[in-house]
Amino acid sequence: TERTLILVKPDGVERGLTGEILRRVEAKGYRIAELKQLNASTEQLAAHYAEHEGKPFYQPLMDFMLSGPVVAAVIEGDRVIEGFRSLAGTTDPTTAAPGTIRGDLGRDWGEKVQKNLVHGSDSVESAEREIGIWFA
Ligand code: ATP
């Protein structure tokens, strides 16, 4: 079995989509091992998004992620890392495939950052690193 770290970003929490997103995760057959809502700290976000430092969307992304509470979860299941990324859809919510979380529930809102509802780790190494950031 495998674990991944997912976040419902502030747009998802604000829009009341936490339940719908977790419903899709559970309906797919994954187990929620850890779950909490919190206000992210600048330190947590800097660690989480270290690979994006210096990119044009970095500061808008940090500001967005600090704009309201997030829901963090550890979910478990065979190939859950790939499985959740498939459930989430591609990064740009306007063009993410219908049937995915981003494709069904997200769109562009004319802002510098893509408000795309969720994050999911992209590898076993990132998952372990990110679980350490959000569930220390
Ligand atoms: P994916 O890996 O599927 O692209 P992700 O969430 O891991 O999704 P990253 O490339 O790691 O995406 O980028 C982190 C976040 O930064 C994105 O989810 C999105 O909110 C924002 N972002 C990424 N690229 C852009 C961009 N070109 N313009 C605006 N915001 C962006």
Q: Which of 3, 24, 48, 119 is flagged as catalytic?
A: 119
Mean residue pLDDT of the chain comes to: 98
102 annotated ligand binder: yes
The predicted model scores a pTM of: 0.97
Residue 71 is predicted with a pLDDT of 99
Tokens 């919190």, located at residue = 38
Expressed in angstroms and rounded, the spacing between residue 62 Cα and the centre of ligand 1 is: 12
- Give residue 55's pLDDT band: very low, low, confident or very high (50, 70, 90): very high
Alpha-carbon distance of 127 to 34, in angstroms, equals 13
| Residue 51 amino acid letter | E
Query: By the 8 A CB rule, do 75 and 84 touch?
Result: yes
Q: Which atom of ligand 1 is nearest to the CA of 114?
A: 30
Residue 122 is predicted with a pLDDT of 98
Q: Where are the domains of the chain?
A: 2-134
Expressed in angstroms and rounded, the spacing between residue 114 Cα and the centre of ligand 1 is: 7
Residues 6+ apart with CB under 8 A from 125: none
Tokens 């660690």, located at residue = 47
Q: Which atom of ligand 1 is nearest to the CA of 116?
A: 20
- The residue contributing the CA closest to ligand 1 atom 19 is 114
Residue range 78-131, pLDDT digits in tens: 999 999 999 999 999 999 999 999 999 999 999 999 999 999 999 999 999 999
The domain 2-134 is classified under which CATH number: 3.30.70.141, 3.40.50.980, 3.30.1360.100, 3.40.630.90? 3.30.70.141
Residue range 2-47, pLDDT digits in tens: 999 999 999 999 999 999 999 999 999 999 999 999 999 999 999 9
Alpha-carbon distance of 35 to 102, in angstroms, equals 21
Interior/surface letters 105-117, b for 16+ CB within 10 angstroms, e for the rest: bbeeeeeebbbbb
